[in-house]
Amino acid sequence: MSTLRLLVSCPDRPGIVSAVSGFLFERGANIVHSAQHTSDPAGGTFFLRMEFDLPDGERGDLLDAFAARVAIPFDMNWHIADSAVPKRIAVLASKADHCLVDLLWRWRRGTLGAEIALVAANHDDLRGEVEPFGLPYHHVAVESGRKDDAEARLADLLEGCDLVVLARYMQILSGDFLAKIGVPVINIHHSFLPAFPGAGPYERARQRGVKLIGATAHYVTEDLDEGPIIEQDVIRVTHRENAQGLARLGADIERTVLARAVQWHCEDRLLRHGNTVVVF
């Protein structure tokens, strides 16, 4: 029996956990994991993640019953996902291969918690890396003055995907494109945001003489590199490193930070709240 995952955010008030757990008990569910957090016990936002087993015969009207009995009375934003149904991922890339190949290996080994459906790139350089994995590779060039055409083709390719991952995809996505695809997009930025957003962060970090470099995985919004942060990590560096050396050291941080963010999303561990992300 696969577990179901419940994610909840709502105004904090007494009785939320009791209402949820009581509802699940009445349905014959067994709660196997539970985590909660409140931004402020006095008028804050309450967050909850539960995993539970539920007999197949009790699943038919689960969503409607939970909405009526629990979600609506507590003014919840909520979602229930089946752990046996992996999310379908589309990966967008450009020329750098380290983040893309790392995701492909994790997918092949069954540790990503999702299915990679396709890879699309604005250059054809990575075809030889992708096709041995048995995945379709789509070259969608972004020609000068024809970005709308490229985004329209990408949107058609991404239909049916649950998540888009930017594995060093060096193009800015328009608000219209994000609205059209209608699914979350996770990006990896090669900087410890909010420091050095945009292009060339390693070069600017070198000029600034930083002692730590890092990487940031975040949800994509219309505002460049300002979306809600999911995960970050850093590595210590010295004045001996040039920009190329910083990029070489940062590559490992980029791929691991991105992989963690993608896996957490696919395991339904993330709850967005304004410009922040609660990670369970």
Closest CA to 21 of 39, 3, 38, 33: 33
Q: Give the pLDDT score at 220.
A: 97
Q: Give the pLDDT score at 140.
A: 97
Residues 243 and 159 in one domain: yes
- Which CATH number does the domain housing residue 71 bear? 3.30.70.260
Q: Give the pLDDT score at 142.
A: 94
Amino acid at 115: E
- The pLDDT tens digits of the residues spanning 228-265 come to 999 999 999 999 889 888 889 999 999 999 999 999 99
Residues 118 and 214 in one domain: yes
Which residues carry out catalysis? 225
**Which tops the pLDDT comparison, 200 or 104?**
104
- The pLDDT tens digits of the residues spanning 131-162 come to 999 999 999 999 988 999 999 999 999 999 99
- The pLDDT tens digits of the residues spanning 215-231 come to 999 999 998 889 999 99
With contact defined as beta carbons under 8 Å apart, do 88 and 164 qualify? Answer: no
Q: Is 6's pLDDT higher than 70?
A: yes
Amino acid at 189: H
Residues 26 and 130 in one domain: no
Residues 70 and 96 in one domain: no
Euclidean distance between CA atoms 194 and 164, whole angstroms: 22
Residues 49 and 96 in one domain: no
Residues 264 and 156 in one domain: yes
Residues 138 and 213 in one domain: yes
3-state secondary structure string, 12-50?
Answer: CCCCHHHHHHHHHHHCCCEEEEEEEEECCCCCCEEEEEE
Model confidence, pTM: 0.93
Return the residue matching tokens 């949800």: 219
Structure tokens at 192: 């410890």
> Of 82, 112, 138, at which residue does a domain stop?
82
Q: Which domain holds residue 29?
A: 4-82
- Which CATH number does the domain housing residue 272 bear? 3.40.50.170
H helices within 138-270, ranges in order? 147-157, 175-181, 201-208, 243-266
> Of 59, 82, 105, at which residue does a domain stop?
82
- The pLDDT tens digits of the residues spanning 19-69 come to 999 999 999 999 999 999 999 988 899 999 999 999 887 788 999 999 999
Residues 115 and 60 in one domain: no
Residues 164 and 259 in one domain: yes
Number of separate domains in the chain: 2
Residues 59 and 93 in one domain: no
Q: Give the pLDDT score at 194.
A: 83
> Of 32, 65, 82, at which residue does a domain stop?
82
Q: Give the pLDDT score at 141.
A: 96
Residues 93 and 192 in one domain: yes
Residues 125 and 254 in one domain: yes
Euclidean distance between CA atoms 146 and 255, whole angstroms: 30
Mean pLDDT of the chain: 94
- The pLDDT tens digits of the residues spanning 80-106 come to 999 999 999 999 999 999 999 999 999
With contact defined as beta carbons under 8 Å apart, do 77 and 8 qualify? Answer: yes
Q: Is 1's pLDDT higher than 70?
A: no
Q: Coil, strand, or helix at residue 191?
A: coil
Return the residue matching tokens 């804050």: 44
Euclidean distance between CA atoms 163 and 262, whole angstroms: 9
- pLDDT band at residue 193 under the 50/70/90 scheme: confident
